[in-house]
Structure 1
């Protein structure tokens, strides 16, 4: 597996990964699957300022699940808030193909984001995560919360019943990982297009 920067031409594959999350889970708050054109626009808009990465299979596996060059997952960041004082803080998003979960794809994408964001002078990585209080919810588990805990995030807030999907109310939690010291003066934010390497 290797990590590269996404392109707008990846939209069909990324949408195939994302659609099941929209249609069958409360992980995303979207009700409708975006069109390919809309998804291309999202990728292009993100890359104007922030990283958008894909994890790609390097070779076929014995079970025939992977083929070389297949996208296994993707990640990107967006502004935590669009006002200038929040430049050093971002919101992270990671989606992994359902048949590629448990194979380190999410961790690989996240670890690469940390390196890139550090070089961009980002200090805070934040994750907005849907949460349920039901132990047997058919649309949501706490897997994303557990993943972020393993990535070094801590819980910083919870909003009660602020999302409604599939006729159910869901909470939303904020988790945060601080990846750089908060110094004065703050180092200037560097937009992703100015970064020379994603290694």
Structure 2
């Protein structure tokens, strides 16, 4: 980060959808990082934000009025036994990459997920993607699965890997998941402002 940049972290709002789509669009149009073909509409993004915030954190990083990156956790699988496992995602505005914003976002995401009693974090990563692999390894994620040529985008077949990290103990009697709306808002705010 540049010394004069003050970064504010907060939970996303549906009003952020347009700015979040602007960050996400180049990933859809120009990369294989996401397997989406079409940039979602602002209304679609609003729905995604609402759905995620009904359970999990969706955190944005702002410099001034500009959103420069975001991260969130989403349901890994719909069946109830998977409730303690989430999939993590992160996107940084291209011009703000390399400033450790992603590291701070992921640290805050993880801290809130721990409070929610989540145990497993899974990252789904297009392969090869050495930058994302290294980023997740820095956070102690381990590669647990490799799927061969399972995604087709921009006239090319791509592999995909799962990387996983445990953030809470797997107790014999699993602790109840505390969804974001039921979590102590003061604790969440403390993590975001730390």
Q: CA deviation at 1:152?
A: 1.1
5+ residue gaps, structure 1 = 58-67, 133-140
Q: Deviations over 1:62-110 (max 9, x none)?
A: xxxxxx1211100111111111111110000000000000111111110
Using the size of structure 1 for normalisation, the TM-score is 0.89
| Residue among 141, 150, 160 paired with 1:153 | 141
Residue 179, structure 1, aligned to residue 167, structure 2? yes
Query: What is the aligned partner in structure 2 of residue 123 from structure 1?
Result: 119
Regions of 4+ moved over 2 Å: none
Match of 2:70 in 1: 74
What is the rounded CA distance, in whole Å, between the counterparts of 2:108 and 2:25 in structure 1? 24
Secondary structure of 2:169's partner?
coil
Q: Which residue does 1:52 correspond to in 2? A: 58
The equivalent position to 2:29 in structure 1, one of 23, 28, 46, is 23
Equivalent residue for 1:194? 182
2:76 counterpart of 1:88: no
What is the RMSD computed on CA atoms of the aligned residues?
A: 0.8
3-state secondary structure, aligned to 1:176: strand
Q: Secondary structure of the residue that 2:47 maps to in structure 1?
A: helix
Give, in whole Å, the separation in 2 of the partners of 1:69 and 1:105: 16
2: CA distance, partners of 1:45 / 1:15:
16
SS in 1 for 2:25: helix
CA distance in 2, matches of 1:98, 1:80: 27
Give the aligned partner of residue 167 of structure 1: 155
Separation in 1 of the partners of 2:55 and 2:62? 22
Instruction: Name the one with the larger helix percent.
Output: 2
Quick one: distance in 1 between partners of 2:114 and 2:56? 12
Question: What residue is the counterpart of 1:7 in the other structure?
Answer: 13
Return 5+ residue gaps in structure 2 as ranges: 1-6
Q: When the two structures are superposed, what TM-score results if normalisation uses the length of structure 2?
A: 0.91
